[in-house]
A and B are shown apart, each in its own frame.
Chain A
Amino acid sequence: MTARAGRGAGGLLRAAPALTVGAFLLPIAAGLAGTLLPAFGYLPAIGGDALGLDGFRRLVAYPGFASSVAVTLTTGIATPLLAVAIALALCAYAHGRPWQQRLSARLAPVLATPHSALAIGLAFLLAPSGWIARLGSPWLTGWTLPPDVATVGDPAGIALVLGLLVKEVPYLVLMIVGALNQVPAREHVVVARALGYSRTQAWLKVVLPQVYPQIRLPVYAVIAFSLSVVDVALILGPTNPPTLAVLAVRWFTDADIDFYFQAAAAATLLLAIVIAAIAGWYGLELVVIGAGRRWIAQGARDGALAAGARAGAAGFCALSAAAAAALAGMVLWSFAAQWRFPAALPQAWSLANWMRRLDGLAGPALTTLAVGVLATAIALALVIGCLENESRSRHRAGPRALWLLYLPLLVPQVAFLFGAQVLLVRLGFDGALAAVVWAHLVFVLPYLFLSLADPWRSFDPRYARSAASLGASPARVLFAVKLPILLKPVLIACAVAFAVSVGQYLATLFAGNGRVATLTTEAVTLAAGADRRVIGAYAVAQAAFPLLAYVAAVAIPALLYAHRRGLGGRG
């Protein structure tokens, strides 16, 4: 009897990988089709029944088309280049230093904070009338009025690049630190230094070539994200014209449905740009690898690199300081009654922003919580199903599965979310909370899988064997042995997933058809110009949610296992 029941559950488990892949491949595939077809004129529901290039013609005829493409390309390529350079420089610099071990823990707060919350904070920090200018005025700058300089929303997109770097650099650093654990970095650097190479050189020449293949996909994800980001571009990016992704969203959401065709064309063009950019980057990799080999073979032991690594590390510190100041500024605003240029701090304080907004905040906060918890729970069930199936059948997914997993992070969101929305409307499912949960699942799943896979796979299988020989069924082994021992990584993965869900802007906007309001959609909408005190409250709430999830993920196991030294407690 037990054996048969076990087999039934096993069947469900064997279906887990297919279910998981289906859960996010289906909407992406359907969504891409639903974007590509209208781009070429096919959308019968609104009278498009002939294939043609009219959408593209209208897109090209848009007065700001050329500058929009140009600024999309410059910001979308500058960001990954700078992000990779700074992240590598920092890791090279950090190698072997006492604080290297604490690096990933230090990154958690920034990684948890939604992009848009940081961008909102940066917008205030950097504006000509912003916090930096206020701190130095008028005693240093002589400004009694803010200068007329575009430091936010500048046509070149510098503020946008900065806003992206603040999050993308820590993300890459985290990926590099993870990859470093899988290569004998310390030993190799020791060997190289004994051969006369400096620490930085040793790292770049010996460790980096081993690490890069493992961060390749994350780098591609950064490229795709930088080219197609919407929320950060809305807040910090140029406006007249904006980037291609913002343009596509603006047209998709226009009351005049005629704009759908050129919106779909813009999204399709963006998809092509992303594919070309990744291909171009791959080509660049080949060139750099070739040149790098020659460089390494030359055996030069010059010292200029250390300065570069220091500069990168300094850049990282500046970005971290900017992120911290951005959030601090929003906290101050949320408690400000009045704060005018050039006062360095609010001139009057008040709790009213929180007390009076509580009603308005509560709805979106609850929705955020519900969507985040549901998406995380479903994703967790699927991911555990996949990983458990993998460890029971002892058949590990190959590198192709990893590409599949990264797909939602590589395909521009605008390119499939609109098509997915059309599908949802067709099913009468749009605007439902369930639709939003599904859309979030597409992005939550990969992150949850990526953060849980390593700890799960390195779980000592003999625990399970020993439990089985004691008579425990596979289900009991999973729930009474594996999950409790892996509680901390499971909760951390959940916190990552929850943070990803909280940060979703476009997915919520499209799947919710504008009717499901989360803290992020509200904050981004408000960022367009509402009362900064209210924006502050929303940005703080938005950042607080994932941070609290992280704190819980660390605190719960610590409390539960306070007396279990084997799990990090004090015994």
Chain B
Amino acid sequence: MMLRALLAAAAAALLLPAYAQDLKWPDVVAKARGQTVNFNAWAGDEKTNAFIAWVGAEVARRYGVKVNHVKLKDTAEAVTRVVAEKAAGRDAGGTVDLVWINGPNFLALKEQRLLFGPFTHALPGYARVDTTNIRSNVVDFTIPVDGMESPWRRAQIVFVYDGKRVRDPPRSVPELLVWAKAHPGRLTHPSVRNFLGATFLKQALYELAPDPAVLQKPATDANFAAVTAPLWAWYDALRPQLWRRGQQFPETGPAQRQLLNDGEIDMMISFNPSEAAVAIDAGLLPDSVRTFVFAKGTIGNTSFVAIPYNAANKEGAMIVADFLLEPATQAHAQDFRQMGNFTVLDMAKLTPAERRRFDELPRSPALPTNAELGTTLLEPHPSWMTRIASEWEKRYTK
């Protein structure tokens, strides 16, 4: 059944690019008016939900496009729905118009040719996107984006620590081990079943692997053991020094943050450079928390929006994708009182007035500058994370 769906999708996809290439923005704007966009987006974060609601209000006011936030617990739900619609022969009038996506889920839809596009070239705002320095804007978990999804926010690994208790934070993965040995029980990471927990191991692997370049290709039975051997050696030494001797882990990022707030740990990993500033503002962490990254850089990725091939309201979806790229929108998103996500735009491509919006954003001592964030490392191929997580479970679940 799956095979038949794939074949049919391939046939349908042949017809799509013609339309996508002829896209004229004024036509899109005209056609979009009155459409309601079903924006399928993970809804686990209140600030993001509020931001999406704000986006909906803005595009309704300016373009007459309504946004309906279909709240997902897992982006895979939207992927499953598109696949199911394809299998049911619903090649037009699909129920998913726009989906917040990246990594494996993007790969699944792209490989099965269930995406509309390329379309990003048609978005006026796409011209300001940083496609040279921020590599994750064009390579999504090693998968070339090819204009099939449009970036809207960025994430990068940082560590948040309590500046009152940690004077001199470690600047590398080996230094982290040294610090943990000196401060037993004061460090943990989220459960490896959780994305952020697996990311902790991924970050360590980046620095410890003999040649990180192999991480950009799928992991194989042949190379996995050799590439990850230094990681496990490091982790075997680290684990007994962790909170609860590495027998117990917070289930999620927020649970880990609660431990930092309760004083049970001194530092934590985060995927949002603004997390410390946002959490101080919300009273979720003490004022004394600060942010640091490793000297050799940390893994970063970009969140995108994509349009399924059968979306009923493609024009409206493009309006939303373009609105997300407007400098004012990006600056709003980067405001740590809103979402605190760093921008995907290239400052050099902005007018002085547009740049000023970013310069005038509220500051916080817990907020790293772009310079302090340092090098952004590309996400390894998704297969590495899957294998690391199951290997971890094998080694450390007793």
Contacts and interface: CB of A to CB of B under 8 A. Distances in A.
B262 A239 contact: no
Size band of the interface chain A makes with B: 20 to 34
B251 A529 contact: yes
A240 B247 contact: yes
A145 B286 CA distance: 14
Nearest to B390: A63
Contact of A150 (B46, B74, B191, B248): B248
A528 B252 contact: yes
Contacts of B397: 62-64, 67, 240-241
Interface in A129-168: 129, 145-146, 148, 150, 153-155
A54 to B, nearest CB: 18
Given A241-B397, A337-B283, A148 B254 contact: no
B248 A64 contact: no
Contacts of B259: 129
A155 B250 contact: no
Contact of B262 (A146, A238, A360, A531): A146
Interface string A236-270: 00111100000000000001000000000000000
Contacts of A241: 397-398
Given A529-B252, A529-B254, A530-B254, A341 B263 contact: yes
B249 A239 contact: yes
Contact of A127 (B252, B253, B256, B262): B262
A150 B188 CA distance: 14
> Which secondary structure dominates where chain A touches chain B?
loop
A128 interface: yes
A340 interface: yes
B283 A338 contact: yes
Contacts of B258: 529, 531-532
Contacts of A338: 283
A209 interface: no
Nearest to B284: A531
Contacts of B74: 255
A351 to B, nearest CB: 14
Nearest to B258: A529
Of A128, A145, A514, which is in contact with the most chain B CB atoms at under 10 Å from its CB?
A: A145
A360 B71 CA distance: 13
A149 to B, nearest CB: 8
B191 A239 contact: yes
Interface in B255-270: 255-259, 261-264
Given A67-B398, A155-B248, A239-B248, A529 B255 contact: yes
Contacts of B191: 239-240
B170 interface: no
Given A129-B264, A240-B397, A337-B283, A529 B249 contact: no
Interface string A341-370: 100000000000000000010000000000
B342 interface: no
Contacts of A340: 261-263, 286
Contacts of B76: 255
B393 A528 contact: no
Nearest to B77: A255
Contacts of B261: 340
A155 B243 contact: no
A241 B192 CA distance: 12
Contacts of B398: 63-64, 67, 241
Contacts, number: 81
Given A240-B191, A255-B76, A531-B284, A341 B248 contact: no
Interface string A194-233: 0000000000000000000000000000000000000000
A127 B393 CA distance: 25
Interface in B108-124: none
Interface string B384-398: 000000000111111
B262 A341 contact: yes
B251 A145 contact: no
B73 interface: yes
A438 B149 CA distance: 42
Given A150-B248, A255-B74, A531-B254, A129 B243 contact: no
Nearest to B184: A148
B248 A146 contact: no
B165 to A, nearest CB: 8
A239 B263 contact: no
A127 B264 CA distance: 10
Contacts of A63: 393-395, 397-398
Interface in B211-260: 243-245, 247-259
B185 interface: yes
Given A63-B397, A128-B264, A529 B248 contact: no
Interface in A305-342: 337-338, 340-341
Nearest to A256: B76
Interface in A147-191: 148, 150, 153-155
B263 A150 contact: no
Contacts of A533: 283
B247 A150 contact: yes
Contacts of A531: 254, 258, 282, 284
A148 B243 contact: yes
B263 A145 contact: yes
Contacts of A145: 263-264
Contacts of A238: 248
Contacts of A155: 247-248
A531 B44 CA distance: 13
Of A129, A360, A514, A529, which is in contact with the most chain B CB atoms at under 10 Å from its CB?
A: A529
B247 A529 contact: no
Contacts of A360: 46
A148 B242 CA distance: 10
Contacts of B282: 531
Nearest to A61: B394
B255 A528 contact: yes
B102 to A, nearest CB: 15
B262 A240 contact: no
Contact of A528 (B245, B251, B286, B394): B251
A355 B251 CA distance: 28
Interface string A87-128: 000000000000000000000000000000000000000011
Contacts of B253: 529
Contacts of B256: 529
Nearest to A529: B255
22 contacts: A62-B397, A63-B393, A63-B398, A67-B398, A145-B263, A145-B264, A146-B264, A153-B248, A238-B248, A239-B248, A239-B249, A240-B396, A240-B397, A241-B398, A255-B76, A338-B283, A340-B262, A341-B262, A341-B263, A528-B254, A529-B251, A531-B258
Q: Closest 3 A-B residue pairs measured CB to CB?
A: A529-B255, A148-B185, A129-B262
Given A128-B264, A240-B248, A341-B262, 18 more contacts: A63-B398, A67-B398, A129-B259, A129-B262, A129-B263, A145-B263, A148-B243, A150-B244, A155-B247, A240-B191, A340-B261, A340-B286, A528-B252, A529-B252, A529-B254, A531-B258, A531-B282, A532-B258
Interface of A: 62-64, 67, 127-129, 145-146, 148, 150, 153-155, 238-241, 255, 337-338, 340-341, 360, 514, 528-533
